[in-house]
Amino acid sequence: MRRGAGAEEAPRGQAPTPAPIPIPTPISAPQDPDSDPDPGPGPEERIAARRRRIAARLDAKRRQALGEDEEPKEEVEEEEEERRSHKEVEESQQRLAKLLFEGTQMVTNIQVAADSRETQRRAEEAELKQQRLKKLENEAKSSAYEFEKIASKWALAEDVTVPQELWQLLNQQQQQCALLLEEKNKLIGELQQELKNKDEQYVQAMKKQSDDIHLLLERMEEQIRIMLKTYRHKLHHIEKAFEFERRELLDSNRKKWEEAIQAHNTKELEYLHARMRKVEEFEKQLNQLRVQDEEEYNSMKIQLENDVQNLERQLQQTKAAYLLNQEKLEYNLLVLKKQDEENTIIRSQQKRKINRLHSSLNNLRTKLDKQEKQFREENQSLAADCERITGQCKEVQKRMRHFAASDAEKFTELWLMNEEEAKRLMRKALDADRIIHTQQLGLPWEQPRHWFLNNIGPLRRCKAKRMATKLAAEVLAESSCGGEEEKAKEEEKEKEEVGFGEGGKENIAKAEKEDVSDRERRKESTAKAGDRVTPLPNISKKTTKRILELLSDESGFLIERKLLRPLRALGKHERTLLRLDSIFSALEINSEDELQRLVDFFLKCKAQEEPLSQGSPSGEDVTDLGEDRAGSEAGARSAELKPPQGPLGSLPSACIHADDVLRILKAFVRGFDKPREKTRAAKEALQVRDSSEDGEYWEALAHVIPETTLKLWDALLVALEEYYNVLTRRAGLLAELAELQQQNLELCLMLERCSTSGVSLGSLQTGDTEL
Amino acid sequence: MQQAAGRSRPIPSLRRSQSRLTADSYCIHRIIEDPEWSLAAVPQLTELCLQHIVHNFTQNPILDRLLPEHQRKVLDRLPTDLPLAVTANLVSDEDYWKRCCTERWQVCDISGYGDSWKRMFFERHLENILKSFVPNTTDPNQVLELIPLCKDYVRKLEVDQFLPPLKVDPEEEADDISDSGSDLGLGEVPIHHYDLGALVTALPYLEELHLTYGVKDCGMNFEWNLFKFTYQDCCNLAGAVKKCHKLKVFKLTRSNVDDDKTKLLVRSLLDHPSLLALNLSHNLIGDTGAQAVGKLINRSKLETLDLCNNKIHHAGAQALAQALAQNCTLTSLNLRLNYLGDEGGEAMGRALLANTTLKSIHLGSNMLSEPSAVLLSQVLAQNATLTSINLSCNHIGPDGGKQLLEGLAGNKTLTEFDLRLAEVGQENEFLIGQMLWANRHATRLAPQPQPPAEPL
């Protein structure tokens, strides 16, 4: 029992079914039907398939190689050739692997068979065990039932009193017990039988196991033997293949080597022959050359001998000349020695002289130094004097200016006082005139419009300097409008002139300007109406405009950055104006004068560049005008600027090139500061006004009432006097009348009083009517 | 002139010495006039010295101070029965140990011992002592004395027998074997085997431990007691293994290890720093033991696990499968001759769908049938790491075979697929075999494309 249930590894019972694997004899091992179910076509097919696969793989490799580089195709071919040994190796590898696999399969078959037997045995064992258990249980149950039956009868036996019965019962019980025991014994016997069977089975299994192990050993040995044999065989084959290959390779290499050697030998032979030939040739040439050289040598020798003779002759000649020369030179040497002595004497004398002169020179130098010092001192004292004097001068000037200013003030005060008085008087006269007109004559009266009416303060002769920009604007505007507009302007001016007497609406400056220009025009008989308006009288308007435009275009760098953007939005004209404005501010050009100078400078530069003699008479007028203006307005204009003015005006405006603008501007700015200083000083001095027109002014004030009005007034006076006489007479008459009426009234009263009386009345009435 | 004089002086002195020498040799010549005498017959002094050294090696082991050629000679002549205490740490010459081994054992294969004769000698010597060790009778110092001598050389211990302590009862010895066995098993105090703890912990380089608690060649003296692996033994073993940190391979086969002992062992092996292979084949491990092993799989570096011929049913298989699904170290699993059944087989199949490290699995003789085959065919189609499957001795049937064939159609890694006695039909088996050949060829070519070019 215990052994049967033991956990022995070896299968104990031989399976009732035949062994699942028919164990083959070791000799027929390679073709084990179980491990290789289809042995016939198997190996060949597999080998073929393998070969096909290898071929495909090689093909793929070759293709890949072709894709990458075309050239190694040949190499591939060669490799193909060489791979015979590889194929051999590959093939043997396959075969050996297969053999190995099959061998191990065969060896392990035994284990697998044992395993399967064991599982089968286990399954059967489990079944048997279950059966046995069931059987035992059944038996236990039935025997327990029997036992109970027997046990229950024991209780019954106690009740039985009759001995026979008791004996009988006991016998029965004994029999039954015996039966029970027998059954149990039978079971035990069966189980023991089974145990014995199992023992036998165990022994069989042991035997089987030992058989199996023997078989296993046998197979393993067989396997080892076969493997060794095949390995050796294959190794031999592979070695053979390699050797064959090696031999082939050696053969081919040897062949190649021999060929190369042979080729090399033939070539070597050829070279040798060629060399021999060349040696012979060269020997021949050498001989020839030797003969030639000998001949040459001989001729040369003769020639050289001749030369030697000639040279010897020459040598003798030169020797004679040498002797001659030697004597000459010796003589010369003597002469020179003497001269040298003389020279040394002279040199010493000279040296002495030089020393003397040096001393005198030093004396003179000291003197010079002294004098220089003296003069420097003098110069310094003089410079100090000069400074002092200039300071004094400046002070005097300042004082003078101060006095002039105070004088002017006083003058204006006086002027204002007088003017006020005159104005009062004038107003009185005008009032009178108005009263006369309106009251006496019954005519409408108009306020006379005179320029002087509104004038307060002394008359300003010098025209207020227009701002440079304004001037430029005017120039540009006028020139842009063209000639027609000029004419129109002229007319306008005339109109204004006409309307002078009428209104004083226009501002003083303008009026004054107009007046001045008007007067000037009147003064100059020449019809320079167009030029009159231009601020720069000596230069043609076009030129000015041209220059200004050039300036605005070229000197954009002077304009402030932030101004540039808003400029773009404006029209061309305004843009130019604004630009000019900013350029002028950058150049510090404020007044008309300065602008004029700028333009002049431009023209001058131009003229200097093209020194054309254009002193044409047509420019004379302009010059005159310019001079006049310069005299009246800006007399301080430097004299240097004047001379070229004349020809400048007539210069073609287009002559100034855009590229020159900058250069000229630079020169102008450099030279601008000096004249400006001068002008400023001059301006203050020039506040002196000329009183030529004062008289006229006052005259005008006095004659505010025209002659015609005065005459009218005279006539009116006469008439009024007459009228007065009439009126006085009439007044007398009126008084008389009043008196008479009084009398009449009194008479009337009296009459009435009389009438009351009646008679008297009538009489009275008649008296009245008679009156 | 002077030089000539200088030369002339030493010459007479030389002559003088020569003359003296001739006088001496003349004397010697006289002593040995024997014509048969020859110099070759006289042993050299060094030879004699070496001989002496060899004879007295036990008392005075001189080896290190000799010249190399003399060392060689001494080693060649040393007797193999010298006490180990002398030679163990002094002699490292392989030839000497080879002589020792071949004299002592008939079959010697040093390939299993790292090609070292010395290691082989010491390992086998220790194994022999352990095999014949009888607790309570043999002096434990016999083992302990050896430890300092062999601790540097022993890497592997392969003990396939542990003797039980002797029972001193002649009466029972005379009785029927079976009866006495039963009586002994019940009546006596539990008998324990030799405790490896002291030995194993004293061997610093021990890497492999192969143990079988049983008696070999008991013949008709069979007793169940001889094969008893007590709980105490197990406790001792577990403690020893736990202390052995360099252990890589642990085999405990044919030792009646049941579930409780498995649990005990597993507990001591959890988180072992170096254990790579565990073999518990031919034991009595049931489902609970398998569950414990499953736990161990994921808490160690195990790469190989052998549980063949145990009593694992589907529950244990499911536990193992669950562990396998998460594992990434195990490469080989052997469950041959268990009782997995289809339930366990399917669980294994599902685990293999998730696992990507296992290379080899043995499910032979496990009462698997078609359902398992269906799942395994899925595994074959998906898994790309498995190289070997063994399904021999199962009842898979021709339909299951067809399924497996279909699954294998897309597989390129499997090289071994054992379907012997699986009733899958000859055609299927043949086709599968062809596919395997293709795969094998591919794997053989793929990793080594260079070697064919080398012979050129």
Across the interface, whether the CB atoms of A112 and B418 are under 8 A apart is answered yes
**Positions in chain A short of pLDDT 70:** 1-47, 49, 59-83, 457-541, 555-556, 558-570, 590-592, 608-658, 672-691, 758-771
Among B178, B426, B444, select the one facing A37 at the smallest CB separation: B426
Kindly give the residue spans of alpha helices, DSSP state H, lying in B412-455: 426-445
Q: How far is the C-alpha of B203 from the C-alpha of B210, rounded, in Å?
A: 15
Spatial contact of A248 and A84, defined as CB atoms under 8 Å apart: no
In angstroms, rounded to a whole number, what is the distance separating the alpha carbons of residues B335 and B311? 10
Whether the CA torsion A349, A351, A356, A360 is positive or negative: it is positive
| Residues B202, B143 contacting (CB under 8 angstroms) | no
Q: What is the pLDDT, as a whole number, of residue A79?
A: 56
Q: In B, which residues are within 8 Å of A51 by CB distance?
A: none
Distance (Å, whole) CA A392 – CA A330:
88
R_g of chain A, CA atoms, integer Å: 82
> What residue ranges do the domains of chain A occupy?
84-305, 366-440, 539-607+655-684, 704-750
B434 touches chain A (CB under 8 A): yes
Half-sphere exposure of A445 (CA within 13 A, CB side): 16
User: What does chain B come to in residues?
Assistant: 456
| Whether B178 contacts chain A with CB within 8 A | yes
* Residue type at position B344: G
Residues of chain B with pLDDT under 70: 1-34, 37, 167-190, 447-456
CB B352 within 8 A of CB B326: no
Candidates A9, A35, A242; nearest CB to B309: A9
Question: Contact B365/A82, CB-based, under 8 Å?
Answer: no
Sheet of B156-159, strand order: B156-159, B208-211, B249-252, B277-279, B304-306, B332-334, B360-362, B388-390, B416-418
Provide residues of A within 8 Å CB-CB of chain B.
2, 7, 9, 20-21, 34-38, 46, 49-50, 53, 57, 82-83, 85-86, 89-90, 93-94, 97, 105, 108-109, 112-113, 115-116, 118-119, 242
Residue of chain A nearest B222, judged by CA positions: A3
d(CA A646, CA A614): 9
According to the model, what pLDDT value does residue A153 have? 83
pLDDT of residue B285: 93
Q: Is B309 on the interface with A (CB under 8 A)?
A: yes
Backbone angles phi, psi at B159, to 5 degrees: -110, 115
Contact B50, B73 (CB under 8 A): yes
Q: Which two tokens stand for residue A574?
A: 């305004």
Contacts of B429 in chain A (CB under 8 A): 37
Integer Cα distance of A10 and A210 in angstroms: 10
What pLDDT shows up at residue A569? Answer: 67
Report d(CA A769, CA A764) in Å as an integer. Answer: 9
| ipTM of the complex, rounded to two decimals | 0.78
Compute the C-alpha angle A563/A566/A567, nearest 5°. Answer: 80
What would the two tokens of residue A612 be? Answer: 């054309």
Please answer yes or no on whether B437 and A46 come within 8 Å at the CB atom: yes
* Residue B280, min C-alpha distance to chain A (Å): 14
What one-character-per-residue DSSP string does B209-240 give? EEE--S-S--GGG--GGGG---HHHHHHHHHH
Q: Residue A165 has what pLDDT?
A: 85
What's the one-letter identity of residue B305?
L
Spatial neighbors of A621 by CB under 8 A, at least 6 apart, are A526, A528
Phi then psi dihedrals of residue A764, to 5 deg = -60, -40
Q: Domains along chain B? A: 46-108 (no CATH), 303-445 (3.80.10.10)
Looking from the CA of B346 toward its CB, the CA atoms found within 13 Å total: 8
User: Are B53 and B62 spatial neighbours (Cβ–Cβ below 8 Å)?
Assistant: yes
For residue A43, the model assigns a pLDDT of 57
Radius of gyration for chain B, computed over Cα atoms and rounded to the nearest angstrom: 34
Nearest-CB residue to B421 (from A37, A89, A112): A112
Block residue for tokens 């070997």: B388
Of B224, B426, B456, the CB nearest to A82: B456
Report angle CA A296, A300, A305 to the nearest 5 degrees.
Answer: 155
The model scores a pTM over 0.80: no
Q: Do A2 and B421 touch (CB under 8 A)?
A: no
Residue B313 contacts A, CB cutoff 8 Å: no
